[in-house]
Amino acid sequence: MLDELNPAQREVVELRRHCVAVACPGAGKTKTIATKAAVLLAEPNATVGAVTFSKDAAVELRDRILALAGSGAKKRLLAGTFHSLSYKQLGGDGSERPDIATDGDRWVLVGQALEEAELDWKIEDAIGAIEVIKTNFGDVQDGTHEARLYRAYQHALERNAKIDFQDMLRLAVEGLQRGTLKPYPFTYLLVDEFQDTDPLQYQWVALHAQAGSIVTVVGDDDQSIYGFRSALGFRGMESFIRQFDAQPVVLGSNYRCKAEILAAADKVIQNNHDRIPKTLVAQKGPGGIVQFNRYDDEYAEAVAAIEALAPALREGKSAAILARTNRILDPVEAVCRSHGVKYYRASGKSILSRPEAALMCNLLEIIQKVKANGLDALLGFAGVGAHELRLLHSKLGPALEQRQKKELVGFGVSEETADRYRDLMKRLAEWRSLCDRQFFSLILDGVREWMMQHAAADQARRAITTTYDVLSRLNGPFSERLEFLRRQNNELVPDALVLTTMHSSKGREWSATWLIRCEETVIPDDGSTEAEERRLFYVALTRAKDVLGVSTAKKNPTSRFVIEAGLA
């Protein structure tokens, strides 16, 4: 096993003291962890703990370790997430473990807590505030809105005899600190993605180190991109080195990226100051393709990216388009749909799955007379209530038709509803006339304009715009366009183009990647620090093995990170 490791990897495996392995992108960190665990399990009576951040990662790491160590080591290996291992500890004294609140439970209980605390906050914002407090051991300043919210929420959990996801780790750490819970009797403890640990997770690891476990943590401060989740990043890794006199070992050999790609990424990350110094070496050598372009708009950019990545997909290689946010991927999905390109939206939901997209398609089918019914949903979208819809049907029957305003008001509906009803019926007649003459573009423009009038939410407006963008790029009657639109090509198949965010790309790699909308105000985003945004861009750059494309639309100036990389 050791013969397959480079000198730095081998040093990590052979160390029998606290160690911080600083692993650059593509450094083979999982291989290093698995090999070290297998070597440790070869020691008589040694027990090994392996901690990851996700269940899937824990299962994968456990399988890789046992493949090297053999099934006989199974009883001396415990692999899991921070939360799963903490939850097991809560029942370590023989008591029954508390019930975990579901997402639905939490949503209701947070709503109750907001009402009790007399706070007019969105539930999503309240959940975020509570999570920050729990990550910091439940510390909150007395007299603040956050303190009122947190205490009301905790009381609600207690009334229902539940704990939430964050409580698993918080209660385990508190129990370990008080001595009411016992640490795991690991001889050795291995922790993956250590740069992503928050204060609670760091303390859980530290308490096991203080209890006698020899700890090896693996991570990369340059890939710390979860500051919004209170990840400690560089500070956590430096703190662990100081607190436990841990040996730092830099795994600087990159086995993923061609030299040109790694060089561009290294130029960017060198501009961050609080980082562990490291020298990156591209083991694959030169031969990578790196290019940068600016396009007139996001649709021209999407077309260019898709066309540039098509050769890789045709050759059976993997390819992905990365964006700062999920929303930026909407135009790319629209182009994939209209061009018949297989794709897989790996992060977030497709905007075309929104109900407004389906409603727009239904309206076009009614215009073309493919469907006879469906006006109720459209009138409801325009603000007509269920009671008034029942009144209209009681007077007009199932087939709604145009009537004078005075007559409609006589049915008992409001004047506003009468106006909205007459407006839709008038437009429907005009659109059907245009459809008979095959003026499909005019109809699409009119339908979009009418739907945008009644769409209040930003996501609803995005769904309407994206659906319009796809359909306007197709030809033929609406029935044919909708059949094309509804084809299921958003599936994870080997030859699908992956559409994902820069955050979700972490831990993944593709033969060819394209980073879109690399502009000021997009990346760096104003909602994060420049250093964290630079780390995010660094992560995105280092996903590519052989081909890297970076581009912008001409809406904003080119991102400073593109300039730092020497691409513009």
pLDDT digits (tens, 9 = 90+) for 269-303: 999 999 999 999 999 999 999 999 999 999 999 99
Residue 105: CB atoms within 10 Å: 16
The whole-angstrom separation of Cα 401 and Cα 381 is 18
Q: How confident is the model at residue 95 (pLDDT cuts 50, 70, 90)?
A: low
Q: Show Cβ contacts of residue 104 under 8 Å, excluding neighbours closer than 6 positions.
A: none
Q: Which helix (H) or strand (E) holds 165?
A: helix 165-178
pLDDT at residue number 396: 84
pLDDT at residue number 374: 74
Q: Are 516 and 557 in contact (CB under 8 A)?
A: no
pLDDT at residue number 488: 65
Average pLDDT over residues 27-50: 96
The whole-angstrom separation of Cα 517 and Cα 324 is 8
3-state secondary structure of 290: strand
Q: Which residues are annotated as a binding site for ATP?
A: 23-30
What phi, psi does 516 have (nearest 5°)?
-105, 160
Q: Is the peptide bond before 524 cis (omega within 30 degrees of 0)?
A: yes
* Residue closest to 93 by CA, chosen among 179, 13, 32, 166: 179
Q: Which residues of 528-551 are buried (b: 16+ CB within 10 A; e: fewer)?
A: beebbbbbbbbbbbbbbbbbbbbb
Using the 8-state DSSP alphabet, how is residue 183 labeled? P
Tell me which amino acid residue 211 is. A
pLDDT tens figures, 299-341: 999 999 999 999 999 999 999 999 999 999 989 998 998 888 9
3-state secondary structure of 31: helix
3-state per-residue secondary structure call for 428-453: HHHHHHHHHCCCHHHHHHHHHHHHHH
Q: For 212-297, where are the alpha helices, taking DSSP H only?
A: 234-244, 259-269
143 burial class (0-12, 13-18, 19+ CB within 10 angstroms)?
Answer: exposed
Using the 8-state DSSP alphabet, how is residue 327 labeled? G
Q: Which residues are annotated as a binding site?
A: 23-30
Q: Are 164 and 151 in contact (CB under 8 A)?
A: no
Q: Are 202 and 193 in contact (CB under 8 A)?
A: no
* Residue closest to 241 by CA, chosen among 219, 211, 271, 270: 219
Q: And the tokens for 215?
A: 């700890």
pLDDT at residue number 458: 87
Q: For 232-354, where are the alpha helices, taking DSSP H only?
A: 234-244, 259-269, 298-314, 330-339
pLDDT at residue 463 greater than cutoff 60:
yes
Q: Are 167 and 133 in contact (CB under 8 A)?
A: no
Average pLDDT over residues 110-117: 92
Q: Given phi > 0 = left and psi -120 to 50 = alpha, else beta, which region is 104?
A: alpha
Q: Are 48 and 190 in contact (CB under 8 A)?
A: yes
pLDDT tens figures, 474-520: 888 999 888 887 776 677 888 899 999 999 999 999 999 999 999 99
pLDDT at residue 29 greater than cutoff 70:
yes
pLDDT at residue 523 greater than cutoff 90:
yes
Q: What is the pTM of this model?
A: 0.84
304 burial class (0-12, 13-18, 19+ CB within 10 angstroms)?
Answer: middle
Q: Given phi > 0 = left and psi -120 to 50 = alpha, else beta, which region is 358?
A: alpha
Helices (H) and strands (E) in the chain, counts: 23, 16
